Amino acid sequence: MIHYTNQTEALTASQLTGFFVGWPSPPSPETHLDILKGSYRVVLATDSDTGQVIGFVNAISDGVLSAYIPLLEVLMEYRGRGIGSELIRRLQVLLEGLYMVDLVCDPELEAYYTRLGFSPLLAMTRRDFDSQSGRKPGPKAR
């Protein structure tokens, strides 16, 4: 059975294996845990048989006007069962009342997010691939 939660207090890195498929330099499970704990809101899908997280989505936000959804992923063997859609729907409930809720996706996912209430918009982006696995310490890093 799939269980959904927005609580991360008891979450451990060992429950977060198998994500960031295809990323050349993926965050470790420990860094993934830091990402989730540092997020404004999170929804996790867990397989109650194994206790493993099998899908997640997170939002970062100022809590007043805007939120951004940086990551959504469902483990390969659990895809196509509505879990990703349910994660987004539950996250949208947690973000209700905010003016802007934005995300960036590849063109092939446009129809997916349109079905979930999003609209296409031009986005500008910059990526530092040296930091793909997590922020590197530097003079400006806090």
Ligand X SMILES: CC(C)(COP(=O)(O)OP(=O)(O)OC[C@H]1O[C@@H](n2cnc3c(N)ncnc32)[C@H](O)[C@@H]1OP(=O)(O)O)[C@@H](O)C(=O)NCCC(=O)NCCS
Interface residues with ligand X (CB under 6 A)?
72-74, 79-85, 105, 108-109, 112
CB nearer to ligand X: pick between 94 and 105:
105
Give the shortest CB-105-to-ligand X separation in angstroms. 4
CB nearer to ligand X: pick between 28 and 81:
81
Contact 18, 56 (CB under 8 A): no
Nearest-CB residue for ligand X: 84
CB nearer to ligand X: pick between 27 and 84:
84
CB nearer to ligand X: pick between 30 and 110:
110
**Type of residue found at 86:** E
Give the shortest CB-79-to-ligand X separation in angstroms. 3
> For residue 36, what are its two tokens?
């989730």
Contact 59, 95 (CB under 8 A): yes
CA 130 from chain centre, in angstroms, equals 20
Task: Look at phi and psi of residue 18 and say left if phi exceeds 0, alpha if psi is from -120 to 50, else beta.
Answer: left
Give the shortest CB-13-to-ligand X separation in angstroms. 19
Give the shortest CB-108-to-ligand X separation in angstroms. 4
The residue among 54, 15, 57, 21 whose CA lies nearest residue 36 is 57
